[in-house]
Amino acid sequence: MKIRRTMWQRAGYGLLGLCLAWMLVLFGVGPWELVGISPSPGLSAEVPSRDVQYLLDQGQENFVRGQLSIAAETLETALNTAQSQNDTLGEVMVQSNLALVYGQMGRWSQANDAIAQSLRLLDLPGKDDPNWQRVRAQTLNVLGRLQLGQGDAEAAFESWGQTVNAYQAAGDRAGQIRGQLRQARALQALGFYRRAVDEILVPLEQQLTAESPSPVKTQSLRSLAEALIVAESLEQARQAAQASLAVAETLALEEEIAATQLTLGNIEYAQAQEYETQNSPALAEASVEQALAWYDRASAPDVTPTAMSGNAMRSQLNQLALLVEFERWDEAVQQWPSVYAQVNALSPNQDGIYTRINLANSLEQLAQQPITGVPSFSQVLAILETAQTEAIALEDARAEAHVLGYLGKAYQSKGQIEADRTQLEKATKLTEEALFSSETVNAVDISYRWYEQLGDLHVQLSELEDTSTHQQAAIAAYRGAVNALKFLRSDLVTINPEVQFSFQQSIEPLHRKLVSLLLEGESPPSQANLKDARAVLESLQLEELNNYLRAACLNSQEVSVDDISGDRRVAVIYPILLPNKIGIIANLPPSQTKAEQAKAEQTKAAPSQAGELQYYTAALAPGELDRYAARMRRQMVFVDYGVLDTAHHLYDLLFPEPLLQDLANSQPDTLVFVPDGALRSVPIAALFDGESYLVEQYSIAITPGLQLLNPQPLQETSLEALTFGLTEAVAEWSSLPYVFDEIEAIRQQVPIESFLNEQFTYEKFEATLSNSSAPIIHLATHGQFSSRLDETFIQAWNNRISVNDLSRWLQRDRTKPVELLVLSACQTATGDQRAALGLAGMAIRAGARSTVASLWQVDDAATAVFMTEFYQALSTQSGNKAEALQRAQKHLIEDPDNNFDHPYYWAPFVLIGNWL
């Protein structure tokens, strides 16, 4: 029987083949640029003494080989020599290189002292000849690397800005380009991915394209491509890499050709992962084939021996990792022995340590397969034990933390297959040692992984021993991992691709494992566990939006339903997808007798939301929710009345009998859903109990999480609206003739300023938003919500308006937030299971308190009727948006004249955010 890895196993470790390769490209020997000078004939410039230069050369050579402790000893000797000879330039160069080596070793205090002394010497008067200028630029570059390595990306950005200026003053174009690329990485580390691309990377690509072919050009374009991979701009990365390859081929630079072919393989590898995440297997398979082809070319036998030792090795390692990740076992079995032999022949250095980890990671997964020709676990362990010995010898604590964790992972897999508690206990001990090592060097980007692995191990041990001790230890470990991820999100201590987590493959499974333990460890769960589970779920929603928006800028805060319930009785419902069931946490208003209800209505007292959280479950078969959600969408779009049966089934899943009884007792007016998974694409209002739709009983709102709500009550304000719309066909989009009626109907209810067709240009939209304080923005135009940020947009007359455009324009010059954003003709991307994430992302990023939008494009005649009723209700219901939405939906259900009673016409409109 074939052993198939779970998604989190495949993700958390399958990605490491490519990630470890990128780590060496971005954070290994390469980017830690050495500080040195070259002789310049015809120039009179200061140089270090011969003795100091000799030791510098030796230390730098040891560093390049990855022999860090020897490099440090040699440079310390060089420092003593420079000081004894009063060689100030030599001392600056030695101190800067020492800072670089100490930083690579994780000895941050010594690194900071060394770089500080170097900078003090550089500030001495009269030090402005060409060599001093070059060394100043290189030292500022090292300073930026140290700052980024310690989590201060903002300071690193400033230092690299000075680096760019210093290289420019020194006339070093290649150094200037490297400084710009590092500035882009600092922006990415701060969460400004789009700014990094738009302000630095794209202009740099345009500059490089205009330059004459040169080795610097091909190297710079390749570095640009690697930076764009991290920014997830794969098409732009592909273009930059192709341009780099063209230059290298023009100049016949064999090593550069191989290096760029490797980068192109990595781009296709990343593309395959992205397609797999989007559930596009055919496209993923095509990208896998392209990646394998590029890796083959990069490791072809006709390249130079030097290229074979570096680029070819990495290509073969990445190729093996790709085959394993995409479960092409037969090909992996054919390839691993030759890679294994090459890796075993490597010399001891830092590059070799990570190469061994990379290979061991692939072989550990391959060893689990019940087929002939796979490696043994003893071979996997031998590779890692060699890497551990080398890490200790090189005094590389960070590398050792990696090795210990992967040793634990190998023993975990072995113990799991053999159901051997002794192996699992050894794995636990090694993982604890890896955690200790990673925390010693403040490597949160490593420790999050080992916290999660430790949690997994305690879960496995609890299954063998059936004790609560392991379960509590697992909860503590998973909490440690979640907290580490929060730290990384807020501080983003590095742009290392290893911590550019895939949400679906890494962050989401971790949170779900913790929620599952909190809810299923006790029966029923304690109030403490329910509150913790709810908090973790809110955190999960926040992380997903941050991941989607490619920014760490969404602020969260603890919010009580009491703060935002107003004079309504509100029930907040959290459906949670668990293994083989759906869990439902509900925060219900307290039960009221009829007399208490009448008194509350008389006194208009705000109802209390105080009370314990409730928990309910319903059985759920694997894939059941996804199937019914997709079926409901299909039946809606085709106006199929069979949708009532589907809606009834989903109603039974989300409203088990105990919950219905508690809702009847607590009598809420409004249901607020924090939807999970496929439920985000389900129009909750259309759930059917066999007699009526849910919206006929309650007003309904959706929120990605209470943490993201503005808890302030709505300000009293006149209802004014800016309206933009398209009635004519634009680009690939059809005409919307009823948009004119829609906008005129709104005009009858509230004062508006209207822009139609050619008046609704990209530029006019920006200018109008910047100069308006209207509380309502209404967009009656085509648009699409997608799980890809770059495919989520609103269509203007002459261009698309992106999520980032909308966010920037709505928040740039306004003193008050938009109260209501209405998107009346948009739709979620067909076939995209996570497309509703785009709707939530746009709603949150726009900064509006509330957003009303459509999940699919509705008949625009029905939309005009719906919006007429919505705005009329909004102007007469004290501005309560949930009530106004309910009234408009019920009007279409109940009005016999319109024939719009099918959910297709009214159900797609959802309210996101503040429901008041």
213-316 and 721-913 share one CATH topology? Answer: no
The answer as to CATH 1.25.40 being correct for domain 213-316 is yes
Domain 721-913 top-level CATH class: alpha beta
Q: What was the pLDDT predicted at 518?
A: 94
Q: What was the pLDDT predicted at 194?
A: 65
Strands (E), 499-568: none
Q: What was the pLDDT predicted at 46?
A: 62
As a whole number of angstroms, the distance between CA 32 and CA 30 comes to 6
The set of long-range contacts for 688-695, using a CB threshold of 8 Å and a minimum separation of 24, is 688/644, 688/647, 688/648, 688/651, 689/648, 689/651, 689/655, 690/648, 693/647, 693/893, 693/903, 694/651, 695/886, 695/889, 695/890, 695/893
- What is the C-alpha end-to-end distance of the chain, expressed in Å? 56
Residue 619, strand partner residues: 581
Q: What was the pLDDT predicted at 558?
A: 52
Cα dihedral sign for 675, 677, 683, 689?
A: negative
Residue 581, strand partner residues: 578, 619
Q: What was the pLDDT predicted at 25?
A: 34
As a whole number of angstroms, the distance between CA 637 and CA 657 comes to 30
At 130-142, the pLDDT tens digits run: 778 888 888 999 9
At 302-312, the pLDDT tens digits run: 444 444 457 88
Asked if 720 contacts 751 with a C-beta cutoff of 8 angstroms, the reply is yes
Asked if 94 contacts 49 with a C-beta cutoff of 8 angstroms, the reply is no
Output the furthest CA–CA distance in the chain (Å, rounded). 100
Asked if 745 contacts 872 with a C-beta cutoff of 8 angstroms, the reply is no
With 0-12 / 13-18 / 19 or more C-beta atoms within 10 angstroms meaning exposed / middle / buried, residue 36 is middle
Q: What was the pLDDT predicted at 181?
A: 83
Asked if 777 contacts 722 with a C-beta cutoff of 8 angstroms, the reply is yes
CB proximity list for 731: less than 8 A, separation 6 or greater: 795
Asked if 411 contacts 396 with a C-beta cutoff of 8 angstroms, the reply is no
Three-state SS at 574: strand
As a whole number of angstroms, the distance between CA 688 and CA 901 comes to 13
Query: What residue type is assigned to position 46 of the chain?
Result: E
Q: Which helix (H) or strand (E) covers residue 824, if one does?
A: strand 820-828
CA dihedral in degrees (320, 323, 326, 330; nearest 10)?
Answer: -140
As a whole number of angstroms, the distance between CA 408 and CA 406 comes to 5
Q: What was the pLDDT predicted at 551?
A: 59
Q: Where are the domains of the chain?
A: 213-316, 572-694, 721-913
User: What percent of the chain clears pLDDT 70, i.e. is strictly above it?
Assistant: 84
As a whole number of angstroms, the distance between CA 191 and CA 491 comes to 9
| Residues of the chain with confidence (pLDDT) below 50 | 1-32, 37-45, 302-308, 491-501, 562, 566, 595, 603-609, 711, 713-715
Q: What was the pLDDT predicted at 503?
A: 59
Q: What was the pLDDT predicted at 507?
A: 82
Q: What was the pLDDT predicted at 840?
A: 81
